[in-house]
Structure 1
Amino acid sequence: MPFTPQEIEAHLEKLEGWELEEGRWIVRKYMFSNYMKGIAFVDEVAAISEAFNHHPFITIDHKTVTLRLTSWEEGGITAVDIKEAQQYNEAFEKARSVG
Structure 2
Amino acid sequence: MAVLTNDQVDAALPDLSGWERSDGALRRSVKFPTFLDGIEAVRRVAEVAEQKDHHPDIDIRWRTVTFTLVTHSAGGITDQDLQMAKAIDQLLGQ
Q: TM-score range by the shorter chain?
A: over 0.9
Paired residues, what number?
A: 93
Q: Where is the helix percentage greater, Structure 1 or Structure 2?
A: 1
Q: Secondary structure at the match of 2:73?
A: helix
Q: Tell me what 2:93 maps to.
A: 93
Indicate the residue corresponding to 2:10 in structure 1.
9
Identical pairs, percent: 32
* Cα deviation digits, residues 46-66 of structure 1 (max 9, x gap): 001101111111011111110
- Structure 1 runs of 4+ with >3 Å offset: none
SS of equivalent residue, structure 1 residue 12: helix
Deviations 1:19-57 (A, max 9, x none): 0001x1100001110000000000011001101111111
The one-letter code matched in structure 2 to 1:21 is: S
Q: 1:53 maps to which residue? A: 53
Q: What is aligned with 1:39?
A: 39
Q: Does 85-94 or 62-71 show the bigger shift? A: 85-94
Ranges in structure 1 where 5+ consecutive residues have no aligned partner: 95-99
Compute the RMSD of aligned alpha carbons: 1.0
Q: Unaligned stretches of 5+ in structure 2?
A: none
Question: 1: distance between equivalents of 2:55 and 2:45?
Answer: 9
- Normalised by the length of structure 1, the TM-score is 0.90
Instruction: Quote the Cα distance in structure 2 between the aligned partners of 1:52 and 1:76.
Output: 18
Aligned residue in 2 for 1:97: none
Name the structure 2 match of 1:70: 70
Q: How far apart in 2 are the matches of 1:80 and 1:38?
A: 24
